[in-house]
A = this chain, B = another copy of it.
Amino acid sequence: MILRDLRIDPARLTSRVERLGKIGALEGGGVCRLALTPSEKLGRAHLVAEMTALGLDVAIDPIGNIFGTRKGRSEGPAVMLGSHIDTVATGGLYDGALGVLAGLEVIATLNDGNIETDLPVVVAAFTNEEGARFAPDMLGSLVFVGGLPLAEALDIISIDGKRLGDELQAIGYAGTDQGPEEVAAYFELHIEQGPVLEDEAIAVGTVLGVQGISWTELTIRGRSAHAGTTPIRLRRDAGLAAARIAAGVGAFVRAMGEDQVGTVGAITLTPNLVNVVAEKAVMTIDLRNPDESLLQAAEAKLAALIEQVAGEETVTIERRTLARFQPVDFAPTLIEQVDGTAKALCLSTRRLFSGAGHDAQMLARIAPAAMIFVPSVNGISHNITEYTAPADLANGANVLLQVTLKQALPTNGEDA
C-alpha cells in the first residue's frame, strides 16, 4: 500500500528544473547548453553535485555520460532512468533536463521513504543528445550501447571545428569509469515536444516507439560569377540549386501527408554576398517517419530531386549521411506498465509515437525500454518559449516513480 501512496514532491521537482534552467540561461528566457561547451560543463557540475548530495555513486564514462547509482539489495542489473542535459542553441528548460531531474526526484522520494530496492536504480545523463553541435545526435547513448566505436566518436568534429575528444578533455568529462554492465529496464520521462497531448487534454502519453530519422548533408559546388553580367544560361549557381532542393523537399513532404515531416534547417552560401553568384552551398535535410518503408520512399524522392537539380543547374552535389535511425518499437511489457500505472494514478493517457529522437531508442538495443510523455504548451520545443506546467511535470514523475518501483522492487511492486 505504501508504494501506491508514495508520491514525488511537485515543488521540489519544479525547483530542480528551475535551478538547472539558470545554467546557460538566455536573455528573455530559455537556455543554451550546447554539448561540451562551458555552459554545459556548469550544468554537468551542478548535476554531479546533486547526485552526490542524494548519496548516489557517480561514474563518468569515456564519452562523458554521467551515471548516478543508488545501490539495491542485490548486485543485479540496474533499473535506469535517464535522458540528457545538453540543449540546442535556443532551447528550453525541459527537453532532456526533465528526464534526468525527475530521476533525481524519484531517488529523493525513495530516500525520504527509506525504501530499499532489490535492484540498483541508476540516473543517467547522456552526452550530446541534441546533435546540434556534434552529429549524430543521441551520440552518448549510442556509444554506451555499443552502436558507435568510442574512438570514432571522439574524432567527430563540431560545427565550430572542434574535435569531440578534445572538447571532452577541455571540460574535464573524459571519464575512465564504466556505466552499468547490465540494464534491467530503461525509462525516460520527456516532454512531448509536439501538440497532441495538449490538444486532446491528456495528462500522460504512453510512447509506443520513435519514428525513423534520416539526416543528410549536401555540399553543392557551382561557380562564382558576377551577378549582373553573367547570363542565366551560363551560370552554375550553387545558391539557386540549394533553394530548389529546399523548396522541393518542402513540396514532396507536404504531399506525403501528416506522418512525414522534413526540414531544411541549415543553408550556408559562399561567399554569401548580394552581387555574387554563390560558388558553394552546404545544406542539411532532416526527414522523419514512423514507418521505415515510407521513410525510405522520402529518401528516394530526395535522391531524385538532388539528381534533377544537379543536372539542370550544372552543379556538383556531394552527399553525406549525418544520421540514420530506423523507427524503434518500445518493449510491450513496459508500455503496458506505463499505461496501467497512469490509469492506476487516475491520469488520462493515450498511446502515441515519438516525433523526436531520444536516448531511449538507443537503450532499446540492449534492454527493455519505454518512455513517458507529458504535454508541451503549444507543442513548442527547441525554442525559448518551451513550457510544461508543474502539475504535468509531477504527473509524469509519479508515473516514473511507480514503474521504477515495479521494476526495482517487483515483490511489493505487484500491489503498487
On A, residues with C-beta under 8 Å from B are 88-90, 130-132, 135, 137, 192-195, 211, 213, 215, 217, 223-234, 237, 239-240, 242-248, 250, 253-254, 258, 261-269, 271-279, 284, 286, 288, 322, 354-357, 379-383
Which residues of the partner chain B approach A382 to less than 8 Å between Cβ atoms? 224-227, 275-277
- The answer to whether A240 touches B250, judged by C-beta atoms less than 8 angstroms apart, is yes
Which residues of the partner chain B approach A211 to less than 8 Å between Cβ atoms? 228
- The answer to whether B228 touches A356, judged by C-beta atoms less than 8 angstroms apart, is yes
Which residues of the partner chain B approach A240 to less than 8 Å between Cβ atoms? 246-247, 250, 264
Partner of A90, one of B224, B244, B250, B266: B224
- The answer to whether B90 touches A271, judged by C-beta atoms less than 8 angstroms apart, is yes
Residue of B nearest to A193 (CB): B229
Question: Please, how many angstroms separate the alpha-carbon atoms of A194 and B277 in the complex?
Answer: 13
In the complex, 19 of the A-B residue pairs with CB atoms within 8 angstroms, ordered by the A residue number, are A89-B273, A90-B224, A193-B228, A194-B229, A223-B380, A225-B381, A226-B382, A226-B383, A228-B357, A229-B381, A230-B379, A231-B261, A232-B254, A233-B258, A240-B250, A243-B244, A266-B273, A275-B286, A276-B382
- The answer to whether B379 touches A261, judged by C-beta atoms less than 8 angstroms apart, is no
Q: How far is the CB of A223 from chain B (nearest CB, A)?
A: 7
Q: How far is the CB of A252 from chain B (nearest CB, A)?
A: 11
Question: Please, how many angstroms separate the alpha-carbon atoms of A288 and B274 in the complex?
Answer: 13
On whether A275 and B132 interact (CB within 8 A), knowing A234-B195, A266-B269, the answer reads yes
On whether A229 and B379 interact (CB within 8 A), knowing A264-B243, A265-B277, A272-B265, the answer reads yes
- The answer to whether B227 touches A261, judged by C-beta atoms less than 8 angstroms apart, is yes
- The answer to whether A274 touches B286, judged by C-beta atoms less than 8 angstroms apart, is yes
On whether A230 and B266 interact (CB within 8 A), knowing A239-B246, A274-B322, the answer reads no
Residue of B nearest to A284 (CB): B274
Question: Please, how many angstroms separate the alpha-carbon atoms of A217 and B261 in the complex?
Answer: 29
Partner of A227, one of B254, B269, B286: B286
Question: Please, how many angstroms separate the alpha-carbon atoms of A356 and B267 in the complex?
Answer: 27
Which residues of the partner chain B approach A258 to less than 8 Å between Cβ atoms? 231-233
Which residues of the partner chain B approach A250 to less than 8 Å between Cβ atoms? 237, 240, 243-244
4 additional A-B pairs beyond A225-B382, A229-B356, A232-B253, beta carbons within 8 Å, are A192-B229, A193-B228, A263-B276, A279-B383
Question: Please, how many angstroms separate the alpha-carbon atoms of A357 and B229 in the complex?
Answer: 9
Question: Please, how many angstroms separate the alpha-carbon atoms of A266 and B275 in the complex?
Answer: 9
- The answer to whether A264 touches B239, judged by C-beta atoms less than 8 angstroms apart, is yes
Question: Please, how many angstroms separate the alpha-carbon atoms of A401 and B286 in the complex?
Answer: 60
Q: How far is the CB of A197 from chain B (nearest CB, A)?
A: 11
Q: Which 10 A-B pairs have the closest CB atoms?
A: A229-B355, A243-B246, A194-B229, A227-B263, A274-B284, A228-B356, A193-B229, A247-B247, A226-B381, A226-B382
Q: How far is the CB of A130 from chain B (nearest CB, A)?
A: 7
On whether A239 and B227 interact (CB within 8 A), knowing A88-B273, A247-B244, A274-B322, the answer reads no
- The answer to whether B275 touches A88, judged by C-beta atoms less than 8 angstroms apart, is yes
- The answer to whether B265 touches A267, judged by C-beta atoms less than 8 angstroms apart, is no
Which residues of the partner chain B approach A193 to less than 8 Å between Cβ atoms? 226, 228-229
- The answer to whether A130 touches B246, judged by C-beta atoms less than 8 angstroms apart, is no
- The answer to whether A275 touches B228, judged by C-beta atoms less than 8 angstroms apart, is no
Which residues of the partner chain B approach A215 to less than 8 Å between Cβ atoms? 274-275
- The answer to whether B383 touches A194, judged by C-beta atoms less than 8 angstroms apart, is no
Which residues of the partner chain B approach A224 to less than 8 Å between Cβ atoms? 90, 382-383
Which residues of the partner chain B approach A233 to less than 8 Å between Cβ atoms? 258
On whether A274 and B278 interact (CB within 8 A), knowing A228-B286, A356-B226, the answer reads no
- The answer to whether A275 touches B247, judged by C-beta atoms less than 8 angstroms apart, is no
- The answer to whether A230 touches B272, judged by C-beta atoms less than 8 angstroms apart, is no
- The answer to whether B253 touches A267, judged by C-beta atoms less than 8 angstroms apart, is no
Residue of B nearest to A278 (CB): B265
- The answer to whether B264 touches A267, judged by C-beta atoms less than 8 angstroms apart, is no
- The answer to whether B267 touches A243, judged by C-beta atoms less than 8 angstroms apart, is yes
